[in-house]
Structure 1
């Protein structure tokens, strides 16, 4: 399931009074901006490393439970949509299906037939909350509708570990969410309906990671899905049988990955996962901060670097906002150093950049704010994260205002509005973020 991002992109100034801003009715908005659904990039790590990731993704579940056999759909896959769906959702789904055909070489298409293999049903957010309170969306086997899901609960039918060959699955997502959230759900849940049921916190380049950093399927994800549907594999195979075939499959699909340098990844301890999950859930702020600090300490004791080190510090920093700004800044800097060790985690660094830009804007350092935003904006574009992109543009606009360049600031702000509509869903939500960022900037005394 795609978890609710308790720390994602909801902002910074917890103790700041946000002034009244522009009325969304009077503010002139451009049309909603959209991405062209290009791949964010090819798989970059060695095949020896990817093979180990594949096994952990294919034969484990998020809980750590073992899956007895490899399972997938056999033959062409059909997808049907149901519920109150928007034109934007249909467009995003068609773009995703096109990518799955081109990049993962999966024979998949939309259908109106009632016997579709995968049904994607849009339901109200409040209904999702009642069934899965900590999930933005989820996928289950053996049902084709919300009514069937409710009837099958507590029967054992929804247990993925009992599936030997996939024939039917249903994805449930919030039809009333922002376009980007719906698209993100489509990417992760359709990928899990087709392939891996696991999420791994160690992965730097995948949506199969509960940190929710990646918004759309990456080159790594498409390679994993292409491998899932390789001719050499079939449903019912054991872990040993799949592992024996993987090197040859990956060598054929990803010749660039046939090189030395792959690392044997350490498993993520259940204690660390528990600490992170506690930090991300709703509850006592103090308890959540303690949990994030505990995750940092566990990672340090195990010598972790990279993605898990960065995310624990990022979570801790977010939870310190409004409590101790100095500690928060130190945590964000630590996250930035961890993510900055590799180009694979550039998008992670871009998320940290939003937080660092808040600190530089508060301090009145317009030049530093613009530099931070300019470095992160192309990364947000490449990884198709409109919400992140909109925030970075808003920071740049406020910094330009500080420098007295109101014309350029207005141009950048206008650009942020179009991306904000896709990322946040409504004009009111976009204006709320504009006002929040504006409240961080030092007030400029009017000229006499």
Structure 2
């Protein structure tokens, strides 16, 4: 993507009150984005947000900046990130803006953009916005200022869309615990599942602006596990703060991560000749997923870590299903981006069609033991290209054979190299991972 000042692989994110997550910057960002999208004439941009308290401030700032650039604004209020992607298309907007820091605590916030197709912006458009940010802010003539209005029926529209993605799903008699992370799904998810007939118990559905992702949601599923057992529910579903990730819990309180949910959806689609290709995941996907899919004659392709790269591979191959272990699942036959609610519905549809419980459906996939050690380094490139390290990796791979793998990956945010090993034998995996991590440390000591 080249070196950019503000945009990362998933928009702009940081701590509220520090550059660039300030009201002043958001005003300028709204103006810059408006300038880019208004180049083809009158433009319309939709804005949604999650439930963190700073969203009010940034929504107002973005609205003002867009108006100053002559762009009309549609305001949605609190809505899941994938809902904004969908409604960007529904209202034929030039772009959608999401104010959210996803699974981060309330102290953080960020901005994501969607294009008119409901997919994340290209590098070229993001670069154009960054270029506008370097210019002095101006205001169009008064008669050309953008207008703003709130969309009153956004929730209803999105609820109906979600239900339509599992049109013959009947949840009558199914007891489900929903954990909405006190985030953007707090209103919509209970409506979707209750209208499909589920007997619901809801937690994490009382946002106060400060409790988003706080000891709840997909990043802290312990509360969901406990509630599923206490309620004797059939299963539990947990979303993250902006609703683009999902994890599930079976009736015994066991967590199913994104790898296992991908396996269930892929198996269901394959059995009905609707998969149309293979599955895209990332370098971090458990090897158990690869082995389980191979047994069903389903190809797995690994992309770089990040849903952006998963989607790139899906588009290139014209495949319909992809995702990450974190629960960010993309069901492209149903929607344009990762959607926690839609993905959960596809899992439930699979369970209904295959007449299986969640626990039974996961049995076809056995997760391999995995060990990861973060090694602090002064030079990530040196650590990964060292002949001694490469030789150690090769020797480790030989010991693991065809039923294991080694991954050395530099962190994108910390001065560390992640040493990860998977294999069938947990004790061997631990021993080999520790030895390889020590080899990386030794190389760095010599270099320093």
Q: With the length of structure 1 as denominator, give the TM-score of the two structures.
A: 0.31
Larger helix fraction of residues: 1
Larger strand fraction of residues: 2
Q: With the length of structure 2 as denominator, give the TM-score of the two structures.
A: 0.31
